[in-house]
C-alpha cells in the first residue's frame, strides 16, 4: 500500500486492489473513470508489471485513457474489443439492489456503454456512497447541446409526474462555459434528494428528445467492493 494515504484514499485503494484480484490473464477489461477507478488502473498496472499479466483495457474517458497509457496498461477501443469480460468502475451512490448513480465525473455515457458490453461489472467504492434510496447525489443526465434549454425544460416538466422530493435541474458548468463531455455533449444535474422509482425515472428520461443517457445504472452492476479507511474490504 502506498505510504501516507488519507483514510478516504486508503478506502479507495483497498477496494481497487481487491477488484483487480478478479482480473485473469487474457481478459478484456472496461476501465472506469474517477479517483477510485484511477487507483484500479494503478493496481492493474502493477500486476501487469510484476506478474506479466496480459490484458487489454477499454477506457471510459480520455482521462482514464491517458492514465492507462502513462502506466503501461494496453488500451484499445470498444469497437476493436467488441465485448468485455469485466468492467471495474467507481460510482457516486449505490443501494442495496446494486443500483447506481454515476456521472459525477461526466463520463456516464461511455461508462454505461462499456459496462453494458461486459460480462460482469464490479463497482469499487468507499462506504459513504451507500444509500437506502438513491437521489441525494444529483443525477447527471447527458444531453446534446442543440436546443439544450428546451431539453432541460422538458426534463423539468417530466419531473412533475415522478416520485422525487426535489426538482431542481442545473446545467453543469466549467468556469463560465457549459462543461463538455468527451462526446461534446452537456450535462444537466437533477437535484432530486430522493428517487422513489429509479427504473421508471431512467426509462422516462431516455424518452425525452435531446437526452443521450442518464446516470442511473440499473441491473448493470454485479458486485460492489467497499473499502474502509482502516484497510478493511467488504465484497457484496
Ligand atoms: C465518473 C463516475 C465516477 O465513477 C464517480 O463519479 C465516482 O468518482 P470517484 O471515484 O472520484 O468518487 O461516474 O463519471
Question: The whole model's pTM is what?
Answer: 0.96
Starting at the edge strand found earlier in the chain, the sheet holding 233-235 runs 56-59, 28-31, 84-89, 118-126, 223-227, 233-235
Output the CA 64–ligand 1 centroid distance in Å.
11
Output the CA 108–ligand 1 centroid distance in Å.
9
Give residue 227's pLDDT.
98
The response to whether 28 counts as a known ligand-binding position is no
Instruction: Please say if 111 is a catalytic residue.
Output: yes
Mean pLDDT along residues 64-90: 98
Residue 138 DSSP class:
P
pLDDT tens-digit readout, 10-38: 999 999 999 999 999 999 999 999 999 99
Residue 2's pLDDT band (cuts 50, 70, 90):
confident
Cβ neighbour number for residue 64 with a 10 Å cutoff = 28
Give residue 94's pLDDT.
98
202 pLDDT exceeds 90? yes
Angle subtended at Cα 187 by Cα 185 and Cα 192, rounded to the nearest 5 degrees? 155
- For a pocket test of ligand 1, which of 12, 30, 91 has the largest count of ligand atoms closer than 8 A to its C-beta? 91
pLDDT tens-digit readout, 36-64: 999 999 999 999 999 999 999 999 999 99
CA-to-CA separations, 176 to 106, 172, 179, in angstroms, rounded: 17, 10, 9
CA-to-CA separations, 180 to 184, 190, 209, in angstroms, rounded: 5, 17, 19
Given 21, 24, 51, 111, the catalytic residue: 111
Mean pLDDT along residues 83-107: 98
The response to whether 82 counts as a known ligand-binding position is no
Looking at ligand 1, which atom is closest to the CA of residue 124? 10
Helix (H, G, I), strand (E, B) or coil at 86: strand
Give residue 175's pLDDT.
98
Residue 180, C-beta contacts closer than 8 angstroms, at least 6 positions apart:
174, 186
Give residue 3's pLDDT.
78
Amino acid at each position: 500500500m502506498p505510504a501516507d494515504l488519507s483514510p478516504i484514499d486508503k478506502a479507495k485503494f483497498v477496494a481497487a486492489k481487491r477488484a483487480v484480484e478478479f482480473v485473469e490473464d487474457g481478459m478484456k477489461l472496461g476501465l472506469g473513470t474517477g479517483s477510485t477507478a484511477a487507483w484500479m488502473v494503478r493496481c492493474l498496472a502493477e500486476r501487469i508489471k510484476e506478474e506479466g499479466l496480459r490484458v487489454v483495457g477499454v477506457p471510459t474517458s480520455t482521462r482514464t485513457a491517458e492514465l492507462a497509457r502513462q502506466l503501461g496498461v494496453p488500451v484499445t477501443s470498444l469497437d476493436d474489443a467488441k465485448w468485455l469480460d469485466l468492467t471495474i468502475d467507481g460510482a457516486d451512490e449505490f443501494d442495496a439492489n446494486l443500483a447506481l448513480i454515476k456521472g459525477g465525473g461526466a463520463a456516464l455515457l461511455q461508462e454505461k456503454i462499456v459496462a453494458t458490453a461486459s460480462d460482469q461489472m464490479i463497482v469499487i467504492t468507499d462506504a459513504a456512497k451507500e444509500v437506502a434510496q438513491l437521489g441525494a447525489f444529483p443525477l447527471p443526465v447527458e444531453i446534446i447541446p442543440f436546443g439544450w434549454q428546451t431539453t432541460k425544460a422538458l426534463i423539468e416538466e417530466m419531473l412533475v409526474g415522478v416520485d422525487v422530493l426535489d426538482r431542481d435541474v442545473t446545467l453543469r458548468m466549467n468556469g463560465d462555459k457549459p462543461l463538455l463531455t468527451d462526446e461534446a455533449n452537456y450535462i444537466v444535474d437533477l437535484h432530486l434528494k430522493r428517487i422513489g422509482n429509479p427504473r421508471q425515472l431512467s426509462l422516462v428520461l431516455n424518452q425525452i428528445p435531446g437526452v443521450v443517457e442518464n446516470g442511473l445504472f440499473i441491473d448493470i452492476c454485479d458486485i460492489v467492493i467497499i473499502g474502509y479507511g482502516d484497510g478493511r474490504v467488504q465484497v457484496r
